[in-house]
Chains A and B, each alone.
Chain A
Amino acid sequence: MPTTTMTPQVFQILLSLADAPRHGYAIITDVRDRTGGQMDLTPSTLYDALARLSDQGLIAETAAPPDAPTTDSRRRYYALTKAGRAAAEDEATRLARLLDMARAKKFYV
């Protein structure tokens, strides 16, 4: 389990994989759409993060879902592992606590 805080990019990637397994380009478009274009991952940033998440066991490669639109063998799908889900939940809890503190100081209503 990583002890350091997660970067926003890594957290967004985990959020992307929360519902269903996705391939690389789908993660990029999903993150861009959800953040209204504020976070636009480049392939190198994405795969840097995916490589590390995979090394840490937070995500794992999985088979393409049956309704996948493409059969291109180069497209690999990634899914959250249990550890990955737990890490994302921990991060979400940490962020929520942070928000609570900010709210208590009236930074945020």
Chain B
Amino acid sequence: MYRLLLLLLPRHRRLSYGDEMRDVFNAAMLASSARGGRWAAMRLWIREVAGMMKFALRDRFAPRPGRGWYAGSELRWAVRSLRSRGWAGVFAVGLLAVALAANGIVFAAVDALAINRTPYPDVDRVVSFINAREATPSSSLPRNDARELLQHAPLFKQIAAFGRTTLFLQGNGVSERVSVVNATPGLFQVLGVTPGWGRTFSAEDVRVHDSDVVVISEVLARTRFGSPEAAVDQTLDTTDVPLRIVGVMVASFRFPDGGVDVWRGLDFDGPLATVQYALNVIARLHDGQALLVANGALGARYDPASKIQPMAEPFAKDKQDRTRYFALLGAALCLLLTACTNAASLELVAAFGRMRGYAIQRALGASRSMLARVVLAEGVMLIGLALLAGWALAALGLDALVAELPRSYGVIPANPIDLDTRALWFMAAAAAVTWLVIAVPVLVFATGVNVLDVLKHGGRFQSGSRLALLFRQGLTAVQVALAVILLVGGLLYARTYAARISVDKGFDGINLASLSLILPPQDIPKLAAIRSSVLAQLAAYQGVEAVTADSPPPSGDSPMAGGPIEIDGAAIASPDVSVGRRAVSPGYLEMVGARLRSGRFLDQDDPASHVVISEPFARRFWPEGAVGHTFRLGPQMPVNMVVGVVAHMRANEDRYEHDRGLTYTYYVRPTPRPSPTSQPASPARAAPTGRRIVNAASAFISMTMKLDSPARLPEIIAMVRRDVPQFAVSGAMVSDTYRGWEAETRLQTTVITAFGFLSFVTALIGVYGVMMFLVAGRTRELGVRIALGATRRDVIALVLVSASRLSIGGAVAGLFGAVALSRFVEGQLFGVSVVDTSTYLVVTIVVIGCATVATWFPARRAARVDPAITLRSE
């Protein structure tokens, strides 16, 4: 980027100072980021751009003896003409800046989430190992296989194994659960990254220090130690052994995604390896080594069943994801195109105004190429200013987007969503295209000015102006068309969102909240006692109307798919049936507001064989009524008797398909178990060294409460945190959880509708501008018409009709465009057809109606033309 900036300088300056300036700038950026973070770095960039422009202008314009010609006159002309634009210039720059910012932001997000998901150096040389022995090949390998693979290190430049786990950090009075990657020392070398502070752990470290060395993330370093520098060589307190920090990774490094805060050294002979059952193995190929050759060598030396494949997924696999990202990028590009055409139209007006100037310049001997250079320089300045402003806007807007990005996107991407070099290049490329779109029509117009014509007719008669007007009308129609496309898209998404959130959940869930406690491994034996005490405390708390120790709807125990099912004693083969058993406390179904269709809810005295079933289950096997009937899920299972039927409580997966009726649930009272700890996987293990290494397994306590108001939830969470500070406590309103599933659609809707609205307003301004221009150009004709007896009404109608040709033409083109494009997003729509007539009709009526209103002022102005004045001036 800085190299581009240096192009502003004259060649001799660039040659003598360019490299050095780049060097100093890099050093200054580093120092600036370290002192004041991203904002300080951005401030430095802005100051540097301003300084560079000053340097370049001063150097080019400074009078210097012995220098006959210098390339500054075009720039000087360009600056002068740009300044003469006034508010129109500011509007054009602002419009382009907003459109460029929108594109920069959307590209940054799409790049991080879909295109460039794994941003490590030479990532195409990094491969991951696939375990092809299993029925479904996966990159997760058993520990011993991973260990064996690491013995084949010479086949690769670097090789490393890693596995994910969690740790409970202590300190600050609160327990914090963090995601950990246990990795062998080569991990960072395979990825080709180095820590921002300190160093990575070496083989010596993990051997000597017994798996207690870690590299942590910058975010964790800042929250725990204030700064990354301070964190190096400090100790991280955990509920297990203290860990020594040897290095801190910069915030932009994320592996395998942004959720990991600690990378802990793993030694296959050490104690940590004994609890790491599955590992992933990745390697960096030797320079020049082909993937196929490496695969062959691996097959020959190790195991023909295992293979390697590139680690980086070049693109989001999910087709829905791809469509979503491309729809957003397409919407942003549409907005940019609208802004471009509007700015091009404005530029053409400005060029038209300067036509006499161009003619005089040509008459005085300026060549066509000189005029072309001035026009191009003007475009560069306009777009340069827009790019700078757009960049600043994008930097501001990106934070808002990242904050708004729904949690339902799941993992935090490995590539952070930021204005990185790729995003800046994209913005620069978009700006360059914009520049061409804007400058070329002006160029054609300015260089094609007929000197004699213009000077002879005093600039009023214009051979080129009719063509320019036609061109402007065309541009305006394009704006209207783009606005229609975006508005139709926005409305279709809005209707999809509305349809999704109004799908019946199957229960009322008013003021229903969930609360979960995650216990560190050493507290797992106390789980039952903790659960009872928290439950009692919540039950006594004012504002909690009811509470049970069950997870909130719709989650349940794993369904048992297929297999024989016995209905009223008769076995039925039903491979498509998947039945989930859900043990719930008595009172739970009433509390969540389950809708009873027939029979009754479970009560305290019901035996374990009494169950309540979901409506689709009842409909499938007992359409005439299920209460009193029996079933069991296999000959070994107990017989269940149906005492009630409730509406299906839909889950995330089947939220749109709940009436297909393939997922059935039955509710039963929990059977008392010998130990409420539900046997968590090996809470503690004796390590080979004799020291206790705690397994990462932790236990969850899940509760559901009915509150008198959602506002209670934060105070309840705070209270529980106070009482059990060593646990990670979190809570959410159940309605928010359901809404969260639709967050992607909401974001999509908001962004596309906002772009559509902006584009719509821009198009209206375009219609207004072009009609004012048209009326001004036809003053004489209108004067003659009025003199010959045309009424005001006739004149207004005349203008409105010519405007409506524009808006109707644009709207029709937009409708065709929208129909053609909508089939790409068909899979994302729900509850609305891609060719929904009402949506198209509403958008068309609104666009044409608003365009007519925008023409009203020019039409009135036309009607006020005084024929006496107009004709006299002729």
Contacts and interface: CB of A to CB of B under 8 A. Distances in A.
B42 to A, nearest CB: 13
Contacts of A74: 19-20, 23
Nearest to B46: A42
Given A25-B28, A28-B28, A44-B52, A75 B20 contact: yes
B27 A44 contact: no
Contacts of A48: 51, 54-55, 58-59
A25 B24 contact: yes
Contact of A42 (B13, B16, B48): B48
A42 B27 CA distance: 11
A46 interface: yes
Nearest to B31: A29
A42 B46 CA distance: 10
Contacts of A42: 28, 44, 47-48, 51
Interface in A43-68: 43-48, 50-51
Summarize A's interface: helix, strand, loop or mixed. Answer: helix
B830 interface: no
Contacts of B77: none
Nearest to B19: A74
B28 A44 contact: no
B17 interface: yes
Contact of B51 (A28, A44, A51, A72): A44
B452 interface: no
B59 A51 contact: yes
A76 interface: yes
B21 interface: yes
A47 B55 contact: yes
A44 B67 CA distance: 24
Contact of A43 (B24, B54, B59): B24
B25 interface: yes
A59 B27 CA distance: 23
Given A44-B51, A44-B52, A44-B54, A51 B13 contact: yes
Interface in A21-45: 24-25, 28-29, 42-45
A72 B20 CA distance: 10
B20 A45 contact: no
A45 B51 contact: yes
Contacts of A44: 21, 48, 51-52, 54-55
B28 A47 contact: no
A47 B58 contact: no
Interface string B1-40: 0000000000001001101110111011001000000000
A76 B20 contact: yes
A54 to B, nearest CB: 9
B24 A72 contact: no
Contacts of A50: 17
A50 B20 CA distance: 12
A16 B59 CA distance: 24
Contacts of B55: 44-45, 47-48, 51
A24 B48 contact: no
Contacts of B58: 48
Given A28-B28, A51-B17, A72 B23 contact: yes
A41 B23 CA distance: 15
Contacts of B51: 42-45, 48
Nearest to B62: A52
Summarize B's interface: helix, strand, loop or mixed. Answer: helix
A82 B55 CA distance: 26
Contacts of B16: 51
Contact of B21 (A29, A47, A72): A47
B291 to A, nearest CB: 38
B10 to A, nearest CB: 10
A28 B48 CA distance: 13
Contacts of A76: 20
B13 A43 contact: no
Nearest to B54: A48
Given A25-B28, A28-B28, A42-B28, A47 B20 contact: yes
Interface in B41-71: 44, 47-48, 51-52, 54-55, 58-59
B54 A28 contact: no
A56 B71 CA distance: 22
A76 B18 CA distance: 12
Q: Which of A28, A44, A47, A75 has the most CB of B within 10 A?
A: A44
Contacts of B28: 25, 28, 42-43
Q: Which of A29, A51, A75, A76 has the most CB of B within 10 A?
A: A51
B431 to A, nearest CB: 21
Contacts of B19: 74
B27 A25 contact: yes
B46 to A, nearest CB: 10
A24 B21 CA distance: 8
Contacts of B20: 24, 47, 74-76
Contacts of B23: 24-25, 72, 74-75
A30 to B, nearest CB: 13
Contact of A46 (B24, B31, B44, B54): B24
A31 B21 CA distance: 17
Q: Which of A43, A72, A74 has the most CB of B within 10 A?
A: A43
Contacts of B54: 44-45, 48
Contacts of B52: 44
A44 B52 CA distance: 5
A24 to B, nearest CB: 4
Q: Which of B20, B47, B51, B52 has the most CB of A within 10 A?
A: B20
B229 to A, nearest CB: 19
Nearest to A27: B24
Nearest to A48: B55
Contacts of B21: 24, 43-44, 47
Nearest to B51: A44
A87 to B, nearest CB: 18
A50 B19 CA distance: 15
A100 to B, nearest CB: 33
A47 B52 CA distance: 9
A74 B19 CA distance: 7
Nearest to B53: A44
Given A42-B44, A44-B54, A74-B19, A28 B13 contact: no
B655 to A, nearest CB: 54
Contacts of B17: 47, 50-51
B24 A24 contact: yes
A50 B51 CA distance: 13
Contacts of B59: 48, 51
A16 to B, nearest CB: 14
A29 B34 CA distance: 14
A19 to B, nearest CB: 20
Contacts of A29: 31
A76 B15 CA distance: 13
A48 B16 CA distance: 12
Nearest to A24: B24
A25 to B, nearest CB: 5
Contacts of B44: 42
Contacts of B27: 25
A42 B13 CA distance: 17
Nearest to A72: B23
A107 B233 CA distance: 54
B52 to A, nearest CB: 4
A79 B358 CA distance: 49
Given A47-B20, A74-B19, 11 more contacts: A42-B44, A43-B24, A45-B54, A45-B55, A46-B24, A47-B17, A48-B51, A48-B58, A50-B17, A51-B59, A75-B20
The 3 closest A-B pairs by CB, nearest first: A44-B51, A48-B55, A44-B52
27 contacts: A24-B20, A24-B21, A24-B23, A24-B24, A25-B23, A25-B28, A28-B24, A42-B28, A42-B44, A42-B48, A42-B51, A43-B25, A43-B51, A44-B51, A44-B52, A45-B54, A45-B55, A47-B24, A48-B51, A48-B55, A48-B59, A50-B17, A51-B13, A51-B55, A74-B20, A75-B20, A75-B23
Interface of A: 24-25, 28-29, 42-48, 50-51, 72, 74-76
